[in-house]
Homo-oligomer: A and B are copies of this chain.
Amino acid sequence: MLVVRTVADLRESLRAARRAEATIGLVPTMGALHHGHEALMEQARRECDVVVISIFVNPTQFNDPTDLERYPRTEEADLAAAERNGVDIAFVPDVAEMYPSGSSIEVRLDGPLVDTLEGAHRGSDHFHGVTTVVAKLFNIAQPTHAYFGQKDAQQVLVVQALVRELNLPVEIRVVDTVREPDGLAMSSRNIHVKGDDRRRALALKAALDATQSAYDGGSRDGAALVEAGVAAMKTYDVEPEYLAVVDPVTLEPLTEVDAGALVVIAAPVGPVRLIDNAVIR
């Protein structure tokens, strides 16, 4: 596996592949790779001739400086994991390479997709940071396919809108959330969830299961499903930052729920903030 740290080196290392009209799969990550990322790499490996992983903790998408500072950085282990999963090229730029001094570019969407839920609670600058870095990474690597995890459901919708509205020539692939055996969604932030908080972290999955159960029991009322989810979390002594049953495309809250609705949750657990989501079946 090749490790490159500059835009010029990445482009150079992809020149032959592009010339050969190879499919190029990009897996954009912030490192601290876990099984969820491995699922992205595996699917990219199955579908593409060349697999590129980017590892870059993007400062512009962090609203909370403490969260940024304590975001796990585990480059050596990440590179080993990438190699183990068949990645061809790891792109590991530093901040100055991605945002040279004086850089002021911003790629932004507006509207409910970036303003609600994560956008409301982390600030819409969070998604402006995401769309900016993703547009840059796409222009740098020029992938034919790019892989994102369904765990960040709103981010998936935002990236899909970015691709559509900026006419980016790349196909977005969405990969199912990977969970620990007990149901906790894999996340780089889980490393900070310790002791009893580890048990409390199950509140999110429990809430998703509770909303599905309520739906299975015949409830079609959005508020009732939310109530069932919140009640389930309470038994873990966790209060959601938000818990909503929304339209899976527009993210608008639903009063009447059908199969296909999206249940999204964010909640503080110990020192971190966790998110999870599921589609009502």
Contacts and interface: CB of A to CB of B under 8 A. Distances in A.
**Residue from A105, A106, A109, A164 with most neighbouring chain B CB atoms (10 Å):** A105
Contact of A139 (B103, B111, B166): B166
B106 A105 contact: no
Interface in A47-105: 100, 102-105
A165 B103 contact: yes
A104 B7 CA distance: 28
B168 A139 contact: yes
A107 B166 contact: yes
Contact of A109 (B11, B105, B142, B164): B105
A136 interface: yes
A162 interface: yes
A169 interface: yes
Interface in A157-202: 161-162, 164-169
Given A166-B139, A169-B139, A169-B142, A105 B104 contact: no
A104 B136 contact: no
A281 interface: no
A111 B104 CA distance: 7
Interface in A102-118: 102-111
A162 B105 contact: yes
A107 B104 contact: no
Nearest to A106: B108
Nearest to A7: B167
A252 to B, nearest CB: 13
A135 interface: yes
A163 to B, nearest CB: 9
Nearest to A132: B166
Nearest to A18: B21
Nearest to A113: B104
Interface of A: 7, 11, 19, 21, 100, 102-111, 135-136, 139-140, 142, 161-162, 164-169
